[in-house]
A and B are shown apart, each in its own frame.
Chain A
Amino acid sequence: MALKTSVILAACFSLVLGFDQLHAQARQSHDPWSPRERALLRDLWVGNLPVLKAASFLSNPYALRADAAALGKDLFFDKSLSRDGNIACAECHDPAHAFAGHDTFLVAGQGQRKAPTLIGVAWQSWFFWDGRKDSLWSQALAPIENPAEFNLSRGDWVKRVMAKYGTRYQAIFGRAEPNRRPNIEEEFANLGKAIAAFETTLAPAPSEFDRFLEHQLGLTKNPKPSPAESPEESPAFGECESAGLKIFIGKGRCVECHNGPRFENGSFHNTGVPLAGDKDFPGGRYLGLIQAMQDPFNCAGIYGARAASKRLSDSCPDLAAAPVRSTLFSGAFKTPTLRNVGKTAPYMHGGQFQTLEQVVQHYAKAPSGPIGSTELLPIEFTEEEGKSLVCFLKKI
C-alpha cells in the first residue's frame, strides 16, 4: 500500500515538474529578446548610471557640494550677469525643454550650434559638440565671453558676480589672502565650478523605456530576477515602441554609438551630417581636441586636476589618452545622449533637422558629409520601421 502511494506521489511530482519545465520552455519561447539583445538592453537601463563620487571630478572638488550647487543655480538663471541683462545659461538650456536649446546660436569659428540637453551631463567626459572642453566647469565659462551670448570679458563678469554673490562665493571658495590682489582667472574658474555643481544635480529620471525594461528584464536597483512579463503590462510602451527598440539595437545599429544608460558612448563620430547653413565650419573633433589641449582651463591646467597625481594619465585620463590629429575625427561630432530626445528638437550639432523623422531618414540614406568620410552605411527602412524607431525614441 505504502509502495503504491509512493509511486503515485512520485508520478504526481514528475507530472508537476514536467509541467513546470514545459511552462518555463513556453516562457522562453515567448521571450522576445535573445541573450545578446538582453545584454544590450541591460546596458541601456538608467539604473546603471554609476553613483557620482568626488573621485569622478578630480578637477572640481566642489562638484558635489550643496552650497556650491545652490550658488551655481542662481548664476545659471541670473540674466543680470550678461551685458544686456537679457541672457542666462537657462535661456539656451531651458528647463522646460529638458535643459536644451529651442534654436541655434552663432559660435565664433564654428557656425550655428544647438545647445544640447544638460540632463545627465555629470556623467559626460567631453563638452561642446566638438569636445573642445574637457570638464563641465570649464565649458560653463565659454559662453560668458562669446559675443553672441553673455558678451562680457571674464573680468567684467567676475566683478558683476562678486558684487551680487561675493559673500556666498567667499563662504565656499575662501577669502583671498590679505594684501593679495584678487585673481580673476581663479575666481572665474571657481564660478564655473559652482555652475557645474548645479548642473551635476540634473540626473535623468527613469523614463517610460526604463519602466518597460524593468518589466521585461526584471531589473531593480537590488536585482531580483523575475519572469519576463508581457509588454501589455507597460501600457505606455506598446507595439510601435517595442518594434522601434528592436530596430534600435538591431538592424538600425543605433546602439553601436548610442549605448549605455545615457545612450551615448563618450566619443565622436563623422555621420555625414550636412552643413548647418553657410556659416558652418564642421572641423568637429579634429579641431576641438587641439583646442582642448591648448585650453588654460583644461584638466591639466593650473585650475584643473594637476595636483591630484604626477601622472597625467591618472589625474586626467581622458585628456592623456586623446589622439590629437587623428583623421578619424575629421568632421566628427559628439554622440549626444538620447535621453529626453523627444523634447529636445532641433537635432544635430547645428540643429540641421527639425524632427526625429528627418534624423531617421538621414541615417537610412547615410549621405557622404561635407568633410572627411562618414562612418554610416545606408540602411533600408520601411515606412513602418522608420515610424517605429521614432515611437521608441520618444520614450527614452
Chain B
Amino acid sequence: MINLMIIVQALPARRQPGTSGWLRSLLIAATVWTRPLAADPSEQAYKMILRNQKPSSEVASSKPKRAASGRFFQAQWTPEAPDQEVPMRSVHSWSLGIKTLASKDLKGARVEVKGLMPQHGHGFATEPQVVEVHPGLYRIQGMQFHMPGWWVVRVEITKGEETETLEFELWL
C-alpha cells in the first residue's frame, strides 16, 4: 500500500486527483509495479551504441546473405513463406538449419533470435521463439519486420561450452 501511494504521488499531478477512479489507480500501480515507465538510462546508452552502427556496403544493393559461419557453427535460414521471401509486416516463421563447421547437424542447441534496427535504436516488436523440429533444424516463430530499412537478425547459438552469435543483414 505504501508502495502504491509512493507510485501515485510520483506521477505528475495533472494525471491525478479528482479524475481517476480506483480502476485507474490500480492500472497505474500494475504498470509501474511491473516495469518502470520512464526509460532506463542503460537502455538509452544501448540505443546510442546501436544508432552509431552502419550497414555493410553491399546490403542495400544485393539480396540478403542467407548463410553464415563463425568459429564453431554455420547456419542457413529460409522464410516459411510460399515464395520463400521475407514478408513485410506479417508475423511469420523461419527455418534455420545449424551445423558444426564439419557439416554435422547441430542437435539440441540453445538458440536465441533477436531482430534489430540499429539506426532506430530498437528492434522487433515481437519476441521470437525457437523450437527444434528435426535434429539440427530449428523453427524461429514470431519473426516480424514491421519497418522498411536496415535490419540485423542476431542468432545466438549455444551448445555445451561453445557459444557464438551469427548476424544476418537484411535491407527491406
Quick one: which of A286, A323, A372 contacts B39, CB cutoff 8 A?
A372
Tell whether A260 pairs with B35 under 8 Å between CB atoms, given A281-B24, A283-B27: no
Give every chain B residue within 8 A of A372 (Cβ-Cβ): 37-39
- The verdict on B45 contacting chain A, using a C-beta distance below 8 Å, is no
- The verdict on B159 contacting chain A, using a C-beta distance below 8 Å, is no
Total A residues in contact with B, Cβ cutoff 8 Å:
43
- The verdict on A327 contacting chain B, using a C-beta distance below 8 Å, is yes
- The verdict on A366 contacting chain B, using a C-beta distance below 8 Å, is no
Q: How far is the CA of A313 from the CA of B133 in the complex (A)?
A: 14
Task: Provide the B77-108 mask, 1 if CB < 8 A to any CB of A, else 0.
Answer: 00000000000111111000000000000000
Task: Provide the A263-295 mask, 1 if CB < 8 A to any CB of B, else 0.
Answer: 001111000000100111101001100100000
Interface centre among B27, B34, B43, B122 (most CB of A within 10 A): B27
Given contacts A283-B27, A371-B37, 15 further A-B contacts (CB under 8 A): A257-B147, A259-B147, A265-B147, A275-B15, A286-B37, A287-B27, A287-B30, A287-B31, A321-B141, A321-B142, A322-B126, A323-B127, A325-B34, A328-B122, A330-B39
- The verdict on A331 contacting chain B, using a C-beta distance below 8 Å, is yes
Give every chain A residue within 8 A of B21 (Cβ-Cβ): 108
Quick one: which of A259, A268, A325 contacts B35, CB cutoff 8 A?
A325
- The verdict on B110 contacting chain A, using a C-beta distance below 8 Å, is no
- The verdict on B70 contacting chain A, using a C-beta distance below 8 Å, is no
Give every chain A residue within 8 A of B30 (Cβ-Cβ): 287, 290
Quick one: which of B28, B89, B126 contacts A321, CB cutoff 8 A?
B126
- The verdict on B12 contacting chain A, using a C-beta distance below 8 Å, is yes
A residues with CB within 8 A of B: 36, 40, 43, 108-109, 125, 255-257, 259-260, 265-268, 275, 278-281, 283, 286-287, 290, 313, 317-318, 320-323, 325-331, 370-373, 375
- The verdict on B146 contacting chain A, using a C-beta distance below 8 Å, is yes
Q: How far is the CA of A322 from the CA of B127 in the complex (A)?
A: 6
9 shortest interchain CB distances as A-B pairs: A321-B142, A323-B127, A373-B39, A321-B126, A313-B141, A265-B146, A267-B146, A267-B125, A317-B91
Give every chain B residue within 8 A of A125 (Cβ-Cβ): 91
Min C-beta distance of A371 to chain B, whole Å: 5
Quick one: which of A109, A280, A321, A328 contacts B27, CB cutoff 8 A?
A109
Tell me whether B35 and A330 are in contact (CB under 8 A). yes
Tell me whether B37 and A331 are in contact (CB under 8 A). yes
- The verdict on B64 contacting chain A, using a C-beta distance below 8 Å, is no
Task: Provide the B9-23 mask, 1 if CB < 8 A to any CB of A, else 0.
Answer: 000101100011101
Q: How far is the CA of A325 from the CA of B60 in the complex (A)?
A: 33
Total B residues in contact with A, Cβ cutoff 8 Å:
42
Q: How far is the CA of A235 from the CA of B142 in the complex (A)?
A: 43
Q: How far is the CA of A372 from the CA of B32 in the complex (A)?
A: 11
Give every chain A residue within 8 A of B12 (Cβ-Cβ): 370
- In terms of DSSP, what is the predominant structure of the interface of chain A? loop
B39 — nearest CB in chain A belongs to which residue? Answer: A373
A269 — nearest CB in chain B belongs to which residue? Answer: B125
> 10 A-B Cβ contacts within 8 A?
A109-B23, A109-B27, A125-B91, A280-B15, A281-B28, A286-B31, A313-B129, A320-B141, A326-B125, A329-B125
Tell me whether B148 and A268 are in contact (CB under 8 A). no
- The verdict on B135 contacting chain A, using a C-beta distance below 8 Å, is no
Q: How far is the CA of A222 from the CA of B46 in the complex (A)?
A: 46
Give every chain B residue within 8 A of A279 (Cβ-Cβ): 19-20
A257 — nearest CB in chain B belongs to which residue? Answer: B147
Quick one: which of B35, B36, B40, B89 contacts A266, CB cutoff 8 A?
B89
Quick one: which of B28, B37, B92, B142 contacts A330, CB cutoff 8 A?
B37
Q: How far is the CA of A36 from the CA of B59 in the complex (A)?
A: 13
Tell me whether A320 and B129 are in contact (CB under 8 A). yes
B26 — nearest CB in chain A belongs to which residue? Answer: A109
Give every chain B residue within 8 A of A320 (Cβ-Cβ): 129, 141-142
- The verdict on B74 contacting chain A, using a C-beta distance below 8 Å, is no
- CB within 8 Å of A: which B133-157 residues: 141-142, 144, 146-149
B145 — nearest CB in chain A belongs to which residue? Answer: A265
Min C-beta distance of A95 to chain B, whole Å: 27
Tell me whether A327 and B39 are in contact (CB under 8 A). yes
